Amino acid sequence: MADSDGFESADEEKQPGTPDTPSPNEAAPLASPAPETKPEPPAAPDSPDIKPDPLPTEKSPENPRADDWGWGGWSSWAASSVSNVAGMASNATKGLSGALETFEASLGLPTPEELAKEMKETELKNTDETQVKDSDPGKKEEPAKEHKEDEANTAGGLGFYPGAGLWSGLSALSTTGTQYLNAGLDKLEEVSNKAYEALNDQTGGEDRSKAKPRTRDSTKGPSLMNVLQEAKLKYEQQEKISAETKLTMSYLFDEKQGLSQLEALEMLSKECVLKMKNTPTDSNTLFLYIETSLELKSGDSEIIIEHLGAAVTDCLKTLKIDLPISKINQCRYEIAQLFSEMDMTTMDETAKPSDTKKTVMLANSLNSIAGFTARSVELFKKIAELSLLKSTLEVDMKTQADTIKFLNEVLCCELDNIRLQFEQKTETKEDVDRLYLETSNAISYLQETLYFFVPILKWIVVKTSKG
């Protein structure tokens, strides 16, 4: 676009005289109207070749402003963005002018005297050529015309008119001149490429990166401040979500390896389902008992546990499972420790409950509950593993099923006890609700083990009955 602007401005210069302004059909609608005289036939095909090139070559020495070229797009951009870049850009345009002078020289452009001579000659020729259209010069120019028409289409017709204005004194150039100019076009392209590179080098790196935000500011885009504020808000929201998710039972339970324990138990359970399918078995009354016994009933009786460790040990004894319960004992002990620590801090700081304290409080509660749940699930998984190893039914299956159900209830009740204890230290209703909800989720994980036990106990029945 800068290009067309440049050429348009040059348009004005065409006014002094436009006697021979060629108007190829393609260019006509785009170009400003009013050539005073009709174009002379031989000039018509020629001129599109010539005009774009002579225009700059003529102009640049007298008017170093590169705008007319479309270079202005670069130099003005650079100038507006960073001042020192502008300096560099003007240097570059100076260099460009120099390059153009040499370019002129290389073109071998005619001196004014020569041009005048040629004008006279062509005027004479023109009279002939209007009559004899098949003349040699016409033929020679034909290929050039086609070529140039294409260029005219792509380059935008406007550009040719200013050229026409500048060259108003000339009716046409000789064919040799045309050839020179064609070669000169390549040269010009080379020069322009070099100039482009020079500009690029000088305005590259830091300067350009500096320039960009400014451009954004000026185009009413979001300011850097807005962008940063948005990013900060987004980050804070994400942090909040992240922190909240970290305080959910599903996350904490996984952190304590609870999910893996549950997954292992599930794998054992599925394996038993598979084995049952592959072993032809008669329906067994024990199956129904197992299902009913391990089923969750609404309003399961509350169990009062005086000593958790003793209750668990008793269950294991009944099941004839030799399993250390140090892990679950340790976990329960740590929770008790936490309570006593909390009592101490509450006494110290009753006056000023802070937000941080509340968060820590909730985090502690949920962490403890998740940990205890994970160790409980682990206990059930180990009971399943050890039960599956037995080749004989050492304990009556009804007793096994009932004991497992009882142990599950014991541990679920203990979870609820822990919740109640934490609840007493919880200050807001929101946190109390949260604690209740997450403990319910924890109890769900623990009760899930019963569901996995059904096929396991059934398989044990089948396996041991087959010897």
Partner 1 sequence: MAANPYNYSYIFKYIIIGDMGVGKSCLLHQFTEKKFMADCPHTIGVEFGTRIVEVSDQKIKLQIWDTAGQERFRAVTRSYYRGAAGALMVYDITRRSTYNHLSSWLTDARNLTNPNTVIFLIGNKSDLDAQRDVTREEAELFAEENGLIFLETSARTGENVEEAFLETARRIYQSIQDGSLELNAAESGVQHKPSPIKVGNEEGQPADRNCSC
Task: Tell me how far, at minimum, the Cβ of 26 lies from partner 1, in Å.
Answer: 54
H-helix or E-strand spanning residue 71 = none
CB nearer to partner 1: give 270 or 307: 270
CB nearer to partner 1: give 90 or 257: 257
Q: Nearest Cα to 376, choosing from 323, 425, 424?
A: 323
Task: Tell me how far, at minimum, the Cβ of 400 lies from partner 1, in Å.
Answer: 17
Task: Tell me how far, at minimum, the Cβ of 444 lies from partner 1, in Å.
Answer: 3
Residue with tokens 């007493």: 424
Task: Tell me how far, at minimum, the Cβ of 367 lies from partner 1, in Å.
Answer: 14
CB nearer to partner 1: give 82 or 461: 461
Q: Alpha-carbon distance 44 to 461, whole Å?
A: 107
Task: Tell me how far, at minimum, the Cβ of 272 lies from partner 1, in Å.
Answer: 9
Query: What type of residue is 390?
Result: K
Task: Tell me how far, at minimum, the Cβ of 249 lies from partner 1, in Å.
Answer: 9
Task: Tell me how far, at minimum, the Cβ of 227 lies from partner 1, in Å.
Answer: 19
CB nearer to partner 1: give 198 or 315: 315
| 78-85 contacts, C-beta under 8 A, 24 or more apart | 78/199, 78/202, 78/203, 78/211, 81/203, 81/207, 81/208, 81/210, 81/211, 81/212, 81/214, 81/215, 82/203, 82/207, 82/210, 82/211, 82/214, 84/207, 85/202, 85/203, 85/207, 85/211
Contact by Cβ (8 Å): 75, 94 = no
Task: Tell me how far, at minimum, the Cβ of 276 lies from partner 1, in Å.
Answer: 8
CB nearer to partner 1: give 69 or 253: 253
Q: What angle do CA 400, 402, 404 make, to 5 degrees?
A: 65
Contact residues toward partner 1 (CB under 8 A) are 238-239, 241-243, 245-246, 248, 250-251, 254, 257, 259-262, 264, 267-271, 273, 291, 296, 323, 381-382, 385-386, 388-389, 437, 440-441, 443-445, 447-448, 451, 454-455
Distances in whole angstroms, Cα of residue 5 to Cα of each of 8, 159, 160, 304, 437: 5, 9, 13, 92, 71
H-helix or E-strand spanning residue 145 = helix 136-155
Task: Tell me how far, at minimum, the Cβ of 154 lies from partner 1, in Å.
Answer: 45
Q: Alpha-carbon distance 211 to 8, whole Å?
A: 28
CB nearer to partner 1: give 260 or 313: 260
CB nearer to partner 1: give 224 or 267: 267
Q: Nearest Cα to 326, choosing from 340, 343, 312?
A: 312
Q: Nearest Cα to 119, choosing from 162, 169, 53?
A: 169
Task: Tell me how far, at minimum, the Cβ of 390 lies from partner 1, in Å.
Answer: 10
CB nearer to partner 1: give 214 or 320: 320
Q: Alpha-carbon distance 51 to 65, whole Å?
A: 19
CB nearer to partner 1: give 99 or 316: 316
Q: What angle do CA 386, 376, 397 make, to 5 degrees?
A: 45
Task: Tell me how far, at minimum, the Cβ of 259 lies from partner 1, in Å.
Answer: 6
Please give the structure tokens belonging to residue 142.
């034909």
Q: Alpha-carbon distance 467 to 449, whole Å?
A: 27
CB nearer to partner 1: give 207 or 271: 271
Contact by Cβ (8 Å): 452, 268 = yes
Q: What angle do CA 436, 440, 445 make, to 5 degrees?
A: 150
CB nearer to partner 1: give 37 or 440: 440
